[in-house]
C-alpha cells in the first residue's frame, strides 16, 4: 500500500513536470510565433505584365496548356499572356505569384501541370542564365502528348533564390530561410525544337529587362533599389 | 506485490492526484494544440486529403480513453520508461516548436504523435505504451503531408489507374485511350484529378480498415496482416472501377452525366464497395487461418 501511494506521488510529480515542460514550450513558441500575417493584397500581375517588349507584342492567347483547378488563395495571383514577334512566332506566358507561407506557386509547377493534363515530360534540364544582371536558373522541359509537343521554359523564384525542384524549395524553409514568397514565370510554345528554347531564353531575358520595378520585385525578387 | 507500481486513474474521489494528473495534461495539451487546431480547422483540414483527420483524432481519443478507464489499466513508468518517454516528448516538442515558428505544417502535425507517445511512455511505461499502441499508431493519420509529397504519390497512381481503365475498356471494344492522366472516350476527354485517383479515399480507407481490425480483435496475426496488405490494392481497384464507371457513363450518357451527381455517387458507392471488400478479405483470411487453430 505504501508503494502504491509513493508511485502515485511520483507520478503526480512527473506529470506536473511534463505538463510544465509542455506549457513552457507552448508559451515560448506562442511568443516567438510571428504575428499572423494578413496576406498583403495580391500583386496586380495583369497590370504588371508589359504589353510589348523587345520584338514582342501582345497577342490573343492560343490553345495553351494552362493550370487547371485554379482556386486562388488570398495574396495569390496568376496572369496569362501570349506574345507574338515580328516573325509571327507565338510564346505563351504564365506569371504566378504566391505570398509567403503558401505552397501555391510550387503547386503550379509546370511539371505537374503538364503531366496532369496528359503530357509526358520527355526531357528536363536546368540552364543557368542571367536575368537583369542577376544569376537565375531556367528549367527547360519538353512535354509531349499524342497530339502535340510543347517546349516549356520557366523560372521559379522562392524568396531570393531560383529553385529547380520543389524539394529544394522545401529545404530552404528548413535552412532558416522562412517566410519566402514565390513567383513562377513560364514561357511555352508548341513544338519541341531546341531552337524554341533559345527563343524562350531571349524572350525571358527581354521580358525581365522590360519589367517595371514593382514587377521586378514580384517576379524576380530583386529589391527596388537594385539598378542593374 | 506482483503487479509492482500501480496507477489507478479511476481511483476513488478521495485521491486528488488523478484529477490533477488529467487536468494538468489536458491544460498543457490545450495550450500546445488548441491554437494549432483552430488554424487547421480554417485551413488544412478543409482540404479533401486531410478531411478525415478530425474523425481519426476523435476515434483515437475515444479508444485511448476507454483503454485508460479500464480497471486493469494500472501501469506506471519505471525510471527507464520515464527517461525514454521524456526524451520522445522533448523530440515532439522540438518538432512542435520548429513547426509552429517556421509554419512547417508537416512537423507541426507530426509532433502530435510524438508528444502523445512521449507522454504515454513517461507516465505509463513500456507496458502502458503497448496497451495504447493503437490510438498512438492512429496519430500517423494526423500528419499533414505537403502538397508536393502527396503529388509524388498520386501522380503514378493516376497514371496507373488511367492506364488500367483505358486498357480494360479498350479490350472490351470501346474507343478509349489515355495519355498521362487524361482518358479519351470517343469525343470526350476526362482528366483523372487527384480526388478521383482516390488517394484521399485510400488514406481514409486504410484508416477505417485499421479501426475495424482493432475493433474485431482477431488474435491471429496472419489474418491481421492479410487484411492490412489487402487495404491498398482494394482501394486502388475500387478507384479504378470508379473511374471506369465514370468513363462508361460519359461514353453512353454524355459528358454532363459524368460530371453530375453521378460523379459523387460513384465515389460513395465505391467507398462502400471497398469497405465491403475489406470485410470480405477479413472474413476470407479468418476462414483460412483461424480454422486451423
What is the DSSP secondary-structure string of chain B? -TT-S---TT--TT--HHHHHHHHHHHHHHHHHHHHHHHHHHTGGGSGGGTTHHHHHHHHHHHHHHHHHSTT------HHHHHHHHHHHHHHHHHHHHHHHTT-HHHHHHHHHHHHHHHHHHHHHHHHHHHTHHHHHHGGGG----HHHHHHHHHHHHHHHHHHHHHHHHHTT--EEEETTEEEETTEEEE--HHHHTHHHHHHHHHHHHHHHHHHT-S-HHHHHHHHHHHHHHHHHHHHHHHHHHHHHHHHH-HHHHHSHHHHHHHHHHHHHHHHHHHHHHHHHHHHHSS--
Rg of chain B over Cα atoms, rounded to whole angstroms, equals 23
Interface test with B, best of A6, A11, A105 (most B CBs within 10 A): A11
Give pLDDT, residue B114.
95
Q: How do residues B155-197 score in pLDDT, each as one tens digit?
A: 777 778 888 888 888 888 887 877 666 777 777 767 666 555 5
Q: Is the pLDDT of residue B73 over 80?
A: no
Contact at CB, A119 and B97, closer than 8 angstroms:
no
Round to whole Å and give the CA distance between B195 and B183.
Answer: 15
pTM: 0.65
Give pLDDT, residue B10.
46
The more confidently predicted of residues B39 and B183 is B39
Round to whole Å and give the CA distance between A2 and A107.
Answer: 62
Interface test with A, best of B152, B156, B178, B179 (most A CBs within 10 A): B179
CA-nearest residue to A173 within chain B is B102
Scanning A127-186 for CB atoms below 8 A from B yields 145-146, 166-167, 170, 173-174, 178-179
Conformation bin of residue B47: beta by default, left when phi > 0, alpha when psi is -120 to 50? beta
Which cell goes with B273?
A: 464497395
Interface test with B, best of A12, A13, A23, A25 (most B CBs within 10 A): A25
Q: Which of A8-22, B245-259, B268-282 has the lowest mean pLDDT?
A: B245-259
- Residues A29-50, mean pLDDT to the nearest whole number: 74
Residue B124 near residue B75, CB atoms below 8 Å: yes
- Which residue is associated with the grid cell 513562377? A184
Q: Phi first, then psi: what are they for B198, rounded to 5°?
A: 80, 20
Which cell goes with B30?
A: 490545450
Give pLDDT, residue A63.
63
Contact at CB, A118 and B178, closer than 8 angstroms:
yes
Query: From the CA of B26, how many Å to the nearest CA of chain A?
Result: 9
Conformation bin of residue A165: beta by default, left when phi > 0, alpha when psi is -120 to 50? beta
Rg of chain A over Cα atoms, rounded to whole angstroms, equals 24
Judging contacts by C-beta atoms under 8 Å, the chain A residues touching residue B27 are: 19, 23
Selecting from A15, A103, A145 the residue whose C-beta is nearest the C-beta of B25 gives A15
Count of other CB atoms within 10 angstroms of residue A203 = 23
Which cell goes with A167?
A: 524539394
Selecting from A14, A21, A33 the residue whose C-beta is nearest the C-beta of B100 gives A33
Q: How do residues B97-144 score in pLDDT, each as one tens digit?
A: 988 887 778 899 999 999 999 999 998 889 889 888 889 999 998 998
Round to whole Å and give the CA distance between B25 and B20.
Answer: 8
Contact at CB, B123 and A10, closer than 8 angstroms:
no
Q: Is A212 on the interface with B (CB under 8 A)?
A: no
Residue B74 near residue A4, CB atoms below 8 Å: no
Q: How do residues B193-247 score in pLDDT, each as one tens digit?
A: 655 555 667 777 788 888 888 887 766 778 888 888 888 888 888 888 888 887 8
Among the ranges A77-91, A167-181, B78-92, B266-280, which has the highest mean pLDDT value?
B78-92
Query: Bridge-partner residues for A158, per DSSP?
Result: A161, A182
Selecting from A11, A29, A101 the residue whose C-beta is nearest the C-beta of B21 gives A11
SS3 per residue for A198-216:
HHHHHHHHHHHHHCCHHHH
Contact at CB, A116 and B181, closer than 8 angstroms:
yes
Selecting from A12, A101, A118 the residue whose C-beta is nearest the C-beta of B179 gives A118
Count of other CB atoms within 10 angstroms of residue A219 = 24
Give pLDDT, residue A72.
67
Query: From the CA of B170, how many Å to the nearest CA of chain A?
Result: 17
Interface test with B, best of A18, A30, A32, A169 (most B CBs within 10 A): A18
Amino acid at each position: 500500500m505504501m508503494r502504491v501511494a509513493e508511485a502515485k506521488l511520483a507520478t503526480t510529480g512527473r506529470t506536473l513536470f511534463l505538463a510544465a515542460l509542455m506549457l513552457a514550450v507552448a508559451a515560448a513558441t506562442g511568443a516567438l510565433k510571428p504575428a499572423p500575417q494578413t496576406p498583403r493584397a495580391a500583386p496586380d500581375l495583369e497590370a504588371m505584365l508589359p504589353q510589348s517588349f523587345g520584338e514582342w507584342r501582345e497577342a490573343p492567347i492560343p490553345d495553351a496548356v494552362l493550370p487547371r483547378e485554379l482556386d486562388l488563395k488570398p495574396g495569390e495571383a496568376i496572369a496569362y499572356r501570349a506574345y507574338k514577334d515580328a516573325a509571327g512566332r507565338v510564346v505563351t506566358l504564365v506569371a504566378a505569384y504566391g505570398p509567403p507561407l503558401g505552397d501555391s506557386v510550387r503547386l503550379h509547377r509546370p511539371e505537374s501541370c503538364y503531366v496532369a493534363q496528359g503530357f509526358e515530360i520527355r526531357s528536363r534540364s536546368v540552364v543557368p542564365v542571367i536575368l537583369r544582371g542577376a544569376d537565375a536558373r531556367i528549367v527547360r522541359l519538353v512535354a509531349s502528348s499524342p497530339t502535340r509537343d510543347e517546349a516549356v521554359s520557366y523560372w521559379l523564384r522562392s524568396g531570393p533564390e531560383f529553385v529547380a525542384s520543389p524539394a529544394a524549395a522545401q529545404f530552404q524553409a528548413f535552412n532558416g530561410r522562412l517566410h519566402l514568397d514565390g513567383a513562377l514565370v513560364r514561357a511555352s510554345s508548341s513544338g519541341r525544337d531546341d531552337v524554341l528554347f533559345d527563343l524562350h531564353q531571349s524572350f525571358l531575358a527581354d521580358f525581365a529587362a522590360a519589367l517595371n520595378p514593382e514587377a521586378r520585385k514580384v517576379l524576380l525578387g530583386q529589391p527596388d533599389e537594385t539598378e542593374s | 506485490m506482483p503487479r509492482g507500481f500501480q496507477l489507478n486513474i479511476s481511483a476513488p474521489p478521495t485521491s486528488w492526484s488523478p484529477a490533477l494528473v488529467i487536468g494538468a495534461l489536458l491544460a498543457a495539451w490545450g495550450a500546445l494544440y488548441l491554437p494549432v487546431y483552430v488554424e487547421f480547422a480554417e485551413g488544412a483540414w478543409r482540404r479533401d486529403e486531410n478531411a478525415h483527420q478530425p474523425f481519426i483524432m476523435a476515434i483515437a481519443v475515444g479508444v485511448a480513453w476507454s483503454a485508460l478507464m479500464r480497471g486493469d489499466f494500472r501501469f506506471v513508468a519505471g525510471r527507464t520508461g520515464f527517461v525514454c518517454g521524456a526524451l520522445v516528448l522533448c523530440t515532439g516538442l522540438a518538432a512542435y516548436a520548429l513547426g509552429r515558428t517556421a509554419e512547417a505544417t508537416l512537423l507541426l502535425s507530426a509532433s502530435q504523435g510524438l508528444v502523445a507517445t512521449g507522454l504515454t511512455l513517461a507516465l505509463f511505461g513500456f507496458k502502458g505504451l503497448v496497451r495504447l499502441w493503437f490510438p498512438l499508431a492512429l496519430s500517423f493519420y494526423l500528419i499533414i503531408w505537403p502538397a508536393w509529397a502527396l503529388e509524388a504519390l498520386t501522380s503514378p497512381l493516376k497514371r496507373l489507374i488511367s492506364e488500367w481503365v483505358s486498357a480494360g475498356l479498350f479490350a472490351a471494344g470501346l474507343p478509349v485511350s489515355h495519355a498521362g492522366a487524361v482518358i479519351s472516350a470517343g469525343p470526350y476527354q476526362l482528366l483523372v484529378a487527384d480526388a478521383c485517383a482516390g488517394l484521399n479515399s485510400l488514406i481514409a480507407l486504410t484508416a477505417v480498415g485499421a479501426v475495424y481490425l482493432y475493433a474485431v480483435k482477431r488474435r491471429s496475426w496472419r489474418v491481421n496482416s492479410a487484411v492490412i496488405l489487402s487495404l491498398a490494392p482494394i482501394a486502388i481497384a475500387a478507384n479504378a472501377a470508379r473511374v471506369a464507371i465514370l468513363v462508361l457513363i460519359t461514353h453512353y450518357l454524355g459528358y454532363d452525366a459524368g460530371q453530375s451527381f453521378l460523379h459523387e455517387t460513384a465515389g460513395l458507392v465505391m467507398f462502400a464497395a471497398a469497405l465491403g471488400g475489406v470485410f470480405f478479405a477479413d472474413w476470407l483470411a479468418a476462414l483460412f487461418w483461424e480454422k486451423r487453430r
